[in-house]
């Protein structure tokens, strides 16, 4: 949202300048104004259009400045943003905006409010400081707090409520901002055994979360530090449920229109990430949050990172096992957005039947489970399959048929099954993109996706201090690995139970047990 606001602000000023220019030349010499100003502004508009085209094609263009001794990937990604403000017509942005119109409408109240607040508080990085202060004085009484200038706030600005969960990279707490009284989620970054200073993974997480501002991605408010700087917390908006725990508490799976509603929101978030050159690399139901307003939000960017063109070699040990795509399991090192799309397919299946689609016990078991349902791949359907590192070493039992339909007979129409199969396509090059998936016929079919505001609500487990049962937990994401078990509320936090929490007061619950 920051970006978008800035965009609109700067675009306006650009128009203003054009206007000013017209006015100026009119007053300067009235008789020739009409003829003289048009080439000038024509030049401006032409150039702007040129930049617009140029930037979009440029982002993927690798050949530009080889001589300039700069790492292309980095500059391309940063340059793209540098220029963003100029090109209000950049196709990806606009698409994204129009697709979100729908979502924005759903949550009109919430999102618009936030929008407005931010517009008022936005720190405009214009060079003229007098303009900044004037603008701030005219719109808000109090200046905003700018961590970039004033430093991080202390965690003491929050009151602890309770612990919610342990993510891949840290523990998450529910807390209250003492200044605004808002309930937030505080995620403590794991720092203990870092021998190389501040972990690069946490830097990536913070950076990608900040860049990926979207209604369906959890919003980062700020980063705060403990008194000794020994503890660092990401302050995020508090969202009541995670979908994994929620589904465990439900006796029946989601209805088809509920599934479609969730999938549309998930795809919209994934599309936004991929448009912004971000791979999530750990999509799974326990990382998807659901608010009481029926808004799905992608969380936990502990494994996310930016990617560029051309692709570079990244570790193939990413994505939680059950949601990991076959190319990663087979040891491919060069991968892209398709890894997230496979996870989306697994999540789709899980939404439908309330059970994980491929709950493998090991990497080989995972592959076997996939092959059992989808058939063993070969070079015809996946060119280059036999050349993959693991495929060269291991021979898999031949299972020639795709039997996935048997598992979803009752839940899926032919269109729905087609979509599922496109997510679970073996060849990553042929796998469907988030954008195409959003336009898939399945979402046009009856029953239509439910409006998020109509989504049923459940009491929030995360406010009750109840930990998800160990047995049903999906395996943890790689790298961060070995969960440390910290006992109870030994850290001396104040604990509130539901009698005081949001769940107790929330009227109009539609209990669904």
Binders of another protein among residues 228 to 257 (CB under 8 A) are 229, 232
Residue 60 burial class via C-beta count within 10 angstroms: exposed 0-12, middle 13-18, buried 19 and up? exposed
Check if 282 is active-site.
yes
Residues in the chain: 513
Closer by beta carbon to another protein, 20 or else 387: 20
φ and ψ at residue 39, rounded to 5 degrees: -65, -35
Q: Which of 8, 29, 150, 500 binds another protein (CB under 8 A)?
A: 150
Asked if 146 interacts with another protein (CB under 8 A), we say: yes
Shortest Cβ 289–another protein spacing (Å): 20
Which position among 27, 129, 227, 510 is part of the footprint of another protein (CB under 8 A)?
129
Instruction: State which of positions 200-219 bind another protein (CB under 8 A).
Output: 200, 203, 206-207, 210-211
Nearest approach in angstroms of CB 65 to another protein is: 5
Q: How many CA atoms lie within 13 A of 474 on its CB side?
A: 31
Q: Judged by CB, which is closer to another protein: 198, or 497?
A: 198
> In this structure, are residues 290 and 297 in contact, taking their beta carbons and an 8 Å threshold?
yes
- Is residue 154 within the footprint of another protein (CB under 8 A)? yes
Task: Select from 20, 75, 74 the least CA-distant residue to 44.
Answer: 20
Site for another protein in 31-70 (CB under 8 A): 40, 43-44, 47-48, 50-51, 54-55, 58, 64-65, 67-70
The angle subtended at Cα 343 by Cα 341 and Cα 345, nearest 5°, is 75
Give the Cα separation of 48 and 54 in Å (integer).
Answer: 10
Q: Which is nearer to another protein, 48 or 495 (CB)?
A: 48
Task: Identify which range of 2-10, 319-327, 363-371, 385-393 contacts another protein by CB under 8 A.
Answer: 2-10
C-alpha to C-alpha distance for 170 and 352, rounded to whole angstroms = 30
| Residues between 366 and 405 that touch another protein (CB under 8 A) | none
Catalytic residue among 87, 282, 300, 340: 282
User: What DSSP assignment string belongs to 153-218?
Assistant: EEGGGEEEEEEEEE-SSSEEEEEEETTT--EEEEEEPP-TT-SSSS-HHHHHHHHHHHH---TTBP
Q: Is the peptide bond before 351 cis (omega within 30 degrees of 0)?
A: no
Q: How many residues bind another protein (CB under 8 A)?
A: 85
The per-residue DSSP string of 446-498 comes to SSPPPPGGG------GGGTTPPPPGGGPPPPPTTT-S-----TTTT------T
Rule CB under 8 A: which of 420-479 touch another protein? none
Q: Does 221 bind another protein (CB under 8 A)?
A: yes
Q: Does 132 bind another protein (CB under 8 A)?
A: yes
Stretch of residues binding another protein (CB under 8 A), selected from 81-89, 283-291, 341-349, 423-431: 81-89
Q: Closest Cα to residue 512, out of 265, 291, 250?
A: 250
Q: Which two tokens stand for residue 273?
A: 């990430």
**Cβ–Cβ under 8 Å, residues 285 and 296:** no
Q: Is there binding between residue 144 and another protein (CB under 8 A)? A: yes
Does the footprint of another protein cover residue 78 (CB under 8 A)?
Answer: yes
Min dist CB 200 to another protein, Å, is 4
CA distances for 307 relative to 281, 312, 319, 467, angstroms: 11, 8, 16, 35
> Which 92-121 residues touch another protein, going by CB under 8 A?
117-118, 120-121
Tell me the two tokens of residue 178. 């003492």
Is there a contact between 239 and 185 (Cβ–Cβ < 8 Å)? yes
Rounded Cα distance, 324 and 362, in Å: 11
Where in 328-367 is the site for another protein (CB under 8 A)?
Answer: none
Q: Which of residues 290-319 bind another protein (CB under 8 A)?
A: 305-306
Give the one residue of 27, 35, 71, 252 binding another protein; rule: CB under 8 A. 71
Residues in 168-187 that interact with another protein by CB under 8 A: 180
Kindly tell me which residue out of 22, 79, 88, 388 binds another protein, with binding defined by CB under 8 A.
Answer: 79
Out of 26, 123, 293, 433, the residue judged to bind another protein by CB under 8 A: 123
Instruction: Quote the CA–CA distance of 452 and 295 in Å, as a whole number.
Output: 6
Closest approach of another protein to the CB of residue 146, in Å: 6
Cα(284)–Cα(247) distance, integer angstroms: 13
Nearer to another protein among residue 44 and residue 381 (C-beta): 44
6 lines the binding site for another protein (CB under 8 A): yes
> Which uninterrupted H or E stretch holds 433?
none
Residue 19 within binding range of another protein, rule CB under 8 A? no
Q: Nearest distance from residue 300's CB to another protein, in Å?
A: 18
Q: Does 151 bind another protein (CB under 8 A)?
A: yes
Catalytic site residues?
282
């Amino acid at each position: 949202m920051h970006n978008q606001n800035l965009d609109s602000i700067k675009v306006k000023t650009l128009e203003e300048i054009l206007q000013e220019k017209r006015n100026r030349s009119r007053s300067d010499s009235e008789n020739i104004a009409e003829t003289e100003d048009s080439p000038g502004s024509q030049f401006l508009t032409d150039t702007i259009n040129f930049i617009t085209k140029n930037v979009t094609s440029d982002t993927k263009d690798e050949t530009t400045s080889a001589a300039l001794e700069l790492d292309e990937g980095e500059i391309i990604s940063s340059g793209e943003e540098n220029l963003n403000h100029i090109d209000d017509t950049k196709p990806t942005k606009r698409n994204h905006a129009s697709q979100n119109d729908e979502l924005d409408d759903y949550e009109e109240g919430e999102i618009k409010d936030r929008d407005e607040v931010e517009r008022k508080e936005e720190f405009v990085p214009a060079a003229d400081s007098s303009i900044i202060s004037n603008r701030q004085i005219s719109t808000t009484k109090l200046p905003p707090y700018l961590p970039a200038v004033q430093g991080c706030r202390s965690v003491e600005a929050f009151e602890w409520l309770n612990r919610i969960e342990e993510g891949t990279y840290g523990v998450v707490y529910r807390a209250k901002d003492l200044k605004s009284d808002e309930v937030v989620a505080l995620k403590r970054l794991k720092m203990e055994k870092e021998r190389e200073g501040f972990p690069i993974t946490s830097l990536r997480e913070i950076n990608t979360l900040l860049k990926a501002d979207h209604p369906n991605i959890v919003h980062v408010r700020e980063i705060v530090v403990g008194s000794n700087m020994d503890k660092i917390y990401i302050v995020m908006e508090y969202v009541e449920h995670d979908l994994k725990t929620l589904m465990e508490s439900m006796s029946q799976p989601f209805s088809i229109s509920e599934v479609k509603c969730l999938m549309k929101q998930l795809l919209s978030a994934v599309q936004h990430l991929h448009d912004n050159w971000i791979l999530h690399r750990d999509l799974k139901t326990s990382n998807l949050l659901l608010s009481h307003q029926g808004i799905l939000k992608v969380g936990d960017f502990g494994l996310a990172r930016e990617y560029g063109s051309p692709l570079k070699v990244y570790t193939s040990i990413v994505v939680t096992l059950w949601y990991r795509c076959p190319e990663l399991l087979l040891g491919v090192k060069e991968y892209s957005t398709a890894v997230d799309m496979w996870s989306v397919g697994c999540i789709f299946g899980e939404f439908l039947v309330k059970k994980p689609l491929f709950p493998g016990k090991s990497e080989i078991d995972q592959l076997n489970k996939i092959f059992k349902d989808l058939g063993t791949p070969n070079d015809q359907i996946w060119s280059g399959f036999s050349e993959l590192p693991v495929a060269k070493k291991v021979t898999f039992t031949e299972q020639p048929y795709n039997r996935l339909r048997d598992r979803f007979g009752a839940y899926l129409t032919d269109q729905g099954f087609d979509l599922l199969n496109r997510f679970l396509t073996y060849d990553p090059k042929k796998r469907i993109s988030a954008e195409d998936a959003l336009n898939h016929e399945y979402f046009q079919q009856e029953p239509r996706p439910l409006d998020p505001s109509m989504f049923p609500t459940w009491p929030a487990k995360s406010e009750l201090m109840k930990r998800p049962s160990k047995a049903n937990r999906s395996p943890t994401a790689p790298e961060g690995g070995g969960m440390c078990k910290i006992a109870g509320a030994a850290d001396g936090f104040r604990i509130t139970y539901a009698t005081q929490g949001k769940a107790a007061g929330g009227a109009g619950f539609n209990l669904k047990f």
